[in-house]
Protein backbone atom coordinates (compact mmCIF):
# COMPACT_ATOMS: atom_id res chain seq x y z
CA UNK A 1 0.00 0.00 0.00
CA UNK A 2 1.28 3.48 -0.78
CA UNK A 3 2.32 5.47 2.27
CA UNK A 4 -0.18 8.16 3.26
CA UNK A 5 1.26 11.63 2.68
CA UNK A 6 1.55 13.78 5.81
CA UNK A 7 -0.70 16.82 5.67
CA UNK A 8 1.08 20.13 5.86
CA UNK A 9 0.71 22.35 8.91
CA UNK A 10 -0.69 25.86 8.61
CA UNK A 11 2.81 27.26 9.14
CA UNK A 12 4.21 25.16 6.29
CA UNK A 13 1.37 26.22 4.03
CA UNK A 14 1.98 29.85 4.94
CA UNK A 15 5.68 29.52 4.11
CA UNK A 16 4.83 27.91 0.78
CA UNK A 17 2.42 30.78 0.10
CA UNK A 18 5.16 33.29 0.88
CA UNK A 19 7.50 31.57 -1.59
CA UNK A 20 4.84 31.65 -4.32
CA UNK A 21 4.16 35.31 -3.61
CA UNK A 22 7.84 36.18 -3.94
CA UNK A 23 7.93 34.25 -7.22
CA UNK A 24 4.99 36.23 -8.57
CA UNK A 25 2.64 33.20 -8.49
CA UNK A 26 -0.22 35.09 -6.88
CA UNK A 27 -3.04 32.68 -7.72
CA UNK A 28 -1.11 29.77 -6.18
CA UNK A 29 -0.28 31.95 -3.17
CA UNK A 30 -4.01 32.64 -2.65
CA UNK A 31 -4.70 28.89 -2.69
CA UNK A 32 -1.94 28.12 -0.18
CA UNK A 33 -2.93 30.95 2.17
CA UNK A 34 -6.54 29.76 1.99
CA UNK A 35 -5.42 26.25 2.99
CA UNK A 36 -3.32 27.70 5.81
CA UNK A 37 -6.29 29.74 7.10
CA UNK A 38 -8.50 26.64 7.04
CA UNK A 39 -5.85 24.51 8.78
CA UNK A 40 -5.27 27.10 11.52
CA UNK A 41 -9.00 27.59 12.14
CA UNK A 42 -9.57 23.82 12.31
CA UNK A 43 -6.66 23.35 14.73
CA UNK A 44 -8.60 25.10 17.46
CA UNK A 45 -5.54 27.19 18.35
CA UNK A 46 -6.37 30.75 19.33
CA UNK A 47 -3.81 32.67 17.33
CA UNK A 48 -5.49 35.88 16.16
CA UNK A 49 -2.18 37.53 15.16
CA UNK A 50 -1.12 34.57 13.00
CA UNK A 51 -4.57 34.38 11.46
CA UNK A 52 -4.53 38.12 10.83
CA UNK A 53 -1.21 37.79 8.99
CA UNK A 54 -2.58 35.00 6.82
CA UNK A 55 -5.59 37.09 5.80
CA UNK A 56 -3.32 40.07 5.15
CA UNK A 57 -0.98 37.94 3.05
CA UNK A 58 -3.87 36.58 1.02
CA UNK A 59 -5.10 40.16 0.59
CA UNK A 60 -1.70 41.12 -0.84
CA UNK A 61 -1.99 38.30 -3.35
CA UNK A 62 -5.52 39.37 -4.34
CA UNK A 63 -4.29 42.95 -4.76
CA UNK A 64 -1.45 41.86 -7.03
CA UNK A 65 -3.93 39.84 -9.08
CA UNK A 66 -6.26 42.83 -9.40
CA UNK A 67 -9.02 41.31 -7.24
CA UNK A 68 -9.60 44.44 -5.18
CA UNK A 69 -12.94 43.49 -3.62
CA UNK A 70 -11.53 40.26 -2.16
CA UNK A 71 -8.47 42.21 -1.00
CA UNK A 72 -10.72 44.66 0.87
CA UNK A 73 -12.66 41.81 2.51
CA UNK A 74 -9.49 40.04 3.68
CA UNK A 75 -7.90 43.23 4.99
CA UNK A 76 -11.06 44.02 6.95
CA UNK A 77 -11.00 40.55 8.54
CA UNK A 78 -7.30 40.95 9.30
CA UNK A 79 -7.92 44.35 10.92
CA UNK A 80 -10.69 42.86 13.05
CA UNK A 81 -8.20 40.28 14.28
CA UNK A 82 -5.27 42.70 14.65
CA UNK A 83 -6.52 46.31 14.83
CA UNK A 84 -4.46 48.97 13.04
CA UNK A 85 -2.16 46.56 11.20
CA UNK A 86 -0.09 48.80 8.91
CA UNK A 87 0.17 46.34 6.02
CA UNK A 88 -3.55 45.58 6.02
CA UNK A 89 -4.41 49.29 6.13
CA UNK A 90 -2.07 50.08 3.23
CA UNK A 91 -3.34 47.16 1.15
CA UNK A 92 -6.97 48.04 1.79
CA UNK A 93 -6.25 51.70 0.98
CA UNK A 94 -4.64 50.70 -2.32
CA UNK A 95 -7.63 48.49 -3.15
CA UNK A 96 -10.12 51.23 -2.21
CA UNK A 97 -8.19 53.65 -4.40
CA UNK A 98 -8.23 51.21 -7.32
CA UNK A 99 -12.04 50.91 -7.16
CA UNK A 100 -12.37 54.70 -6.70
CA UNK A 101 -13.61 54.57 -3.10
CA UNK A 102 -11.43 57.57 -2.34
CA UNK A 103 -12.94 58.56 1.02
CA UNK A 104 -12.28 55.14 2.52
CA UNK A 105 -8.78 55.10 1.01
CA UNK A 106 -8.02 58.52 2.52
CA UNK A 107 -9.11 57.35 5.98
CA UNK A 108 -6.86 54.28 5.79
CA UNK A 109 -3.85 56.26 4.54
CA UNK A 110 -4.30 58.85 7.31
CA UNK A 111 -4.64 56.10 9.91
CA UNK A 112 -1.31 54.65 8.78
CA UNK A 113 0.36 58.06 9.16
CA UNK A 114 -0.74 58.17 12.79
CA UNK A 115 1.22 54.97 13.38
CA UNK A 116 4.30 55.61 11.21
CA UNK A 117 4.85 58.97 9.55
CA UNK A 118 7.90 57.64 7.67
CA UNK A 119 5.97 55.74 5.01
CA UNK A 120 6.09 57.44 1.59
CA UNK A 121 3.23 55.20 0.38
CA UNK A 122 0.91 56.68 3.02
CA UNK A 123 2.04 60.28 2.36
CA UNK A 124 1.69 59.89 -1.40
CA UNK A 125 -1.67 58.15 -1.03
CA UNK A 126 -3.01 60.89 1.25
CA UNK A 127 -1.96 63.57 -1.24
CA UNK A 128 -3.50 61.70 -4.17
CA UNK A 129 -6.77 61.20 -2.29
CA UNK A 130 -6.88 64.85 -1.20
CA UNK A 131 -6.65 65.94 -4.84
CA UNK A 132 -9.15 63.33 -6.04
CA UNK A 133 -11.66 64.24 -3.33
CA UNK A 134 -11.27 67.98 -3.98
CA UNK A 135 -12.07 67.31 -7.65
CA UNK A 136 -15.00 65.06 -6.71
CA UNK A 137 -16.59 66.92 -3.78
CA UNK A 138 -15.17 70.44 -3.94
CA UNK A 139 -13.62 72.42 -1.07
CA UNK A 140 -15.90 70.85 1.56
CA UNK A 141 -14.76 67.27 0.82
CA UNK A 142 -13.54 66.72 4.39
CA UNK A 143 -17.09 67.09 5.70
CA UNK A 144 -18.11 63.97 3.76
CA UNK A 145 -15.33 61.73 5.12
CA UNK A 146 -16.05 58.75 7.35
CA UNK A 147 -14.58 59.16 10.87
CA UNK A 148 -10.80 58.68 11.04
CA UNK A 149 -10.03 56.38 14.00
CA UNK A 150 -7.61 57.59 16.65
CA UNK A 151 -4.75 55.14 17.14
CA UNK A 152 -3.91 54.76 20.86
CA UNK A 153 -0.26 55.49 21.76
CA UNK A 154 0.22 52.01 23.23
CA UNK A 155 -0.94 50.47 19.95
CA UNK A 156 1.43 52.70 17.95
CA UNK A 157 4.41 51.62 20.02
CA UNK A 158 3.52 47.94 19.76
CA UNK A 159 3.04 48.12 15.99
CA UNK A 160 6.29 50.01 15.44
CA UNK A 161 8.19 47.38 17.42
CA UNK A 162 6.69 44.52 15.45
CA UNK A 163 8.50 43.28 12.34
CA UNK A 164 7.32 40.51 10.05
CA UNK A 165 10.10 39.78 7.56
CA UNK A 166 8.51 36.54 6.33
CA UNK A 167 5.24 38.09 5.20
CA UNK A 168 4.61 39.63 1.79
CA UNK A 169 5.81 43.21 1.73
CA UNK A 170 3.79 46.42 1.60
CA UNK A 171 2.89 47.84 -1.85
CA UNK A 172 5.99 50.07 -2.14
CA UNK A 173 8.33 47.29 -1.09
CA UNK A 174 6.62 44.87 -3.46
CA UNK A 175 7.45 47.17 -6.34
CA UNK A 176 11.12 46.92 -5.38
CA UNK A 177 10.86 43.13 -5.13
CA UNK A 178 12.43 43.04 -1.68
CA UNK A 179 11.55 41.54 1.68
CA UNK A 180 11.54 43.86 4.65
CA UNK A 181 14.89 43.90 6.44
CA UNK A 182 14.32 43.44 10.17
CA UNK A 183 17.63 45.12 11.18
CA UNK A 184 16.80 48.21 9.15
CA UNK A 185 13.30 48.26 10.61
CA UNK A 186 14.63 47.94 14.15
CA UNK A 187 17.03 50.85 13.60
CA UNK A 188 14.27 52.98 12.16
CA UNK A 189 11.95 52.10 15.02
CA UNK A 190 14.64 53.08 17.52
CA UNK A 191 15.12 56.45 15.80
CA UNK A 192 11.36 57.06 15.78
CA UNK A 193 11.16 56.31 19.52
CA UNK A 194 14.01 58.71 20.30
CA UNK A 195 12.38 61.35 18.10
CA UNK A 196 9.03 60.91 19.85
CA UNK A 197 10.59 61.27 23.31
CA UNK A 198 12.50 64.40 22.29
CA UNK A 199 9.37 65.88 20.71
CA UNK A 200 7.37 65.27 23.91
CA UNK A 201 10.14 66.95 25.92
CA UNK A 202 9.87 69.90 23.54
CA UNK A 203 6.10 69.99 24.02
CA UNK A 204 6.56 70.14 27.80
CA UNK A 205 8.97 73.05 27.45
CA UNK A 206 6.48 74.93 25.25
CA UNK A 207 3.84 74.60 27.97
CA UNK A 208 6.31 76.24 30.36
CA UNK A 209 6.97 79.03 27.87
CA UNK A 210 10.59 77.96 27.34
CA UNK A 211 10.56 78.28 23.56
CA UNK A 212 14.33 78.44 22.97
CA UNK A 213 14.89 75.18 24.84
CA UNK A 214 11.90 73.64 23.05
CA UNK A 215 13.47 74.52 19.68
CA UNK A 216 16.61 72.63 20.70
CA UNK A 217 14.56 69.54 21.57
CA UNK A 218 12.56 69.71 18.35
CA UNK A 219 15.78 70.09 16.35
CA UNK A 220 17.24 67.01 18.06
CA UNK A 221 13.99 65.14 17.38
CA UNK A 222 14.12 66.01 13.69
CA UNK A 223 17.70 64.74 13.47
CA UNK A 224 16.31 61.31 14.43
CA UNK A 225 13.11 61.50 12.38
CA UNK A 226 13.08 64.25 9.72
CA UNK A 227 9.62 63.27 8.43
CA UNK A 228 7.48 64.01 11.50
CA UNK A 229 5.20 66.83 10.34
CA UNK A 230 4.03 67.96 13.80
CA UNK A 231 7.60 68.52 14.98
CA UNK A 232 8.08 71.08 12.20
CA UNK A 233 4.80 72.84 12.98
CA UNK A 234 5.59 72.80 16.72
CA UNK A 235 9.02 74.32 16.10
CA UNK A 236 7.42 76.89 13.81
CA UNK A 237 5.15 77.90 16.72
CA UNK A 238 8.26 78.49 18.86
CA UNK A 239 9.89 80.54 16.11
CA UNK A 240 6.74 82.68 15.90
CA UNK A 241 6.84 83.25 19.67
CA UNK A 242 10.48 84.37 19.37
CA UNK A 243 9.68 86.57 16.34
CA UNK A 244 11.92 84.47 14.11
CA UNK A 245 9.44 84.63 11.27
CA UNK A 246 11.60 83.45 8.38
CA UNK A 247 12.57 80.35 10.36
CA UNK A 248 8.87 79.74 11.00
CA UNK A 249 8.17 79.99 7.26
CA UNK A 250 10.91 77.45 6.48
CA UNK A 251 9.54 74.93 8.98
CA UNK A 252 6.01 75.33 7.66
CA UNK A 253 7.27 74.83 4.11
CA UNK A 254 8.94 71.58 5.16
CA UNK A 255 5.74 70.44 6.89
CA UNK A 256 3.71 71.22 3.76
CA UNK A 257 6.17 69.33 1.62
CA UNK A 258 5.35 66.26 3.73
CA UNK A 259 1.62 67.00 4.05
CA UNK A 260 0.32 69.49 1.48
CA UNK A 261 -2.98 70.05 3.30
CA UNK A 262 -1.66 70.49 6.84
CA UNK A 263 -3.85 73.08 8.55
CA UNK A 264 -1.36 74.15 11.24
CA UNK A 265 1.43 74.64 8.72
CA UNK A 266 -0.75 76.81 6.50
CA UNK A 267 -2.02 78.88 9.45
CA UNK A 268 1.39 79.38 11.07
CA UNK A 269 3.02 80.29 7.78
CA UNK A 270 0.22 82.81 7.23
CA UNK A 271 0.94 84.26 10.68
CA UNK A 272 4.62 84.56 9.80
CA UNK A 273 3.87 86.17 6.42
CA UNK A 274 1.61 88.70 8.18
CA UNK A 275 4.46 89.74 10.47
CA UNK A 276 6.83 89.89 7.47
CA UNK A 277 4.31 92.25 5.77
CA UNK A 278 3.85 89.80 2.89
CA UNK A 279 0.11 90.33 2.50
CA UNK A 280 -0.24 88.41 -0.77
CA UNK A 281 1.44 85.23 0.52
CA UNK A 282 -0.51 85.44 3.78
CA UNK A 283 -3.86 85.70 1.98
CA UNK A 284 -2.94 82.81 -0.33
CA UNK A 285 -2.21 80.53 2.64
CA UNK A 286 -5.40 81.51 4.43
CA UNK A 287 -7.50 80.98 1.29
CA UNK A 288 -5.87 77.54 0.83
CA UNK A 289 -6.64 76.71 4.45
CA UNK A 290 -10.26 77.84 4.16
CA UNK A 291 -10.75 75.68 1.08
CA UNK A 292 -9.85 72.71 3.27
CA UNK A 293 -11.66 73.91 6.41
CA UNK A 294 -14.22 76.57 5.42
CA UNK A 295 -15.41 77.00 9.03
CA UNK A 296 -11.99 77.60 10.58
CA UNK A 297 -12.75 80.71 12.66
CA UNK A 298 -9.11 81.52 13.49
CA UNK A 299 -8.25 81.62 9.78
CA UNK A 300 -11.36 83.70 9.00
CA UNK A 301 -10.42 86.22 11.70
CA UNK A 302 -6.80 86.46 10.56
CA UNK A 303 -7.89 86.91 6.94
CA UNK A 304 -10.13 89.85 7.96
CA UNK A 305 -7.18 91.42 9.82
CA UNK A 306 -4.79 90.98 6.89
CA UNK A 307 -7.22 92.35 4.33
CA UNK A 308 -7.28 95.62 6.30
CA UNK A 309 -3.50 95.92 5.96
CA UNK A 310 -2.21 98.57 3.56
Question: Is 25 found in the same domain as 71?
Answer: yes
pTM, full prediction: 0.55
**pLDDT band at residue 257 under the 50/70/90 scheme:** confident
Q: How many domains does the chain have?
A: 2
pLDDT (0 to 100) of residue 156: 73
Least confident interval from 26-35, 159-168, 203-212:
159-168
DSSP string computed for 9-59: PHHHHHHHHHHHHHTT-HHHHHHHHHHHHHHHHHHT---HHHHHHHHHHHH
**pLDDT band at residue 124 under the 50/70/90 scheme:** confident
**Is residue 177, in this structure, part of any structural domain at all?**
no
Question: Is 147 found in the same domain as 23?
Answer: yes
Of 100, 123, 158, the domain-final residue: 158
Question: Is 18 found in the same domain as 136?
Answer: yes
Read off the pLDDT of each residue in 239-266 and give the average, rounded to a whole number: 91
Bigger pLDDT: 191 or 38? 38
Question: Is 227 found in the same domain as 191?
Answer: yes
Question: Is 284 found in the same domain as 190?
Answer: yes
Average pLDDT, the chain: 85
**Is residue 83, in this structure, part of any structural domain at all?**
yes
**Cα 266 to Cα 285: distance, rounded to the nearest angstrom:** 6
Bigger pLDDT: 167 or 136? 136
Phi-psi region at 169: left, alpha or beta (left = phi > 0; alpha = psi -120 to 50)? beta
pLDDT (0 to 100) of residue 162: 58
Cβ atoms of 3 and 43 closer than 8 Å: no
Residue 20 has, within 13 A of its CA and on its CB side, a CA count of 22
Dump pLDDT digits (tens) for 194-205: 888 999 999 999
Dump pLDDT digits (tens) for 260-310: 888 999 999 999 999 999 999 999 999 999 988 888 899 999 999 999 887
Bigger pLDDT: 241 or 163? 241
Question: Is 15 found in the same domain as 154?
Answer: yes
- Residue 63 sits in a domain whose CATH number is 1.25.40.10
134-161 burial, b at 16+ Cβ within 10 Å, e below that, comes to beeeeeebbeebeeeeebeeeebeebbe
Bigger pLDDT: 7 or 302? 302
**pLDDT band at residue 183 under the 50/70/90 scheme:** very low
Residue 83's domain spans which residues?
A: 10-158
Read off the pLDDT of each residue in 246-253 and give the average, rounded to a whole number: 93
Amino acid sequence: MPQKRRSQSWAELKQAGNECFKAGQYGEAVSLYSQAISALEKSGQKKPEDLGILYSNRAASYLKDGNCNECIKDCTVSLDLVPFGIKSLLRRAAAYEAVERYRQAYVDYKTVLQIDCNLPAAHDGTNRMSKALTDMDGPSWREKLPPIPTVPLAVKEKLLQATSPTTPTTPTAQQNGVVENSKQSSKKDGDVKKARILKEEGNSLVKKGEHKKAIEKYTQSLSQDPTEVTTYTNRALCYLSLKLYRDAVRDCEEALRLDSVNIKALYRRAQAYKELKDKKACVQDLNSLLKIEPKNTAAQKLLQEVQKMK
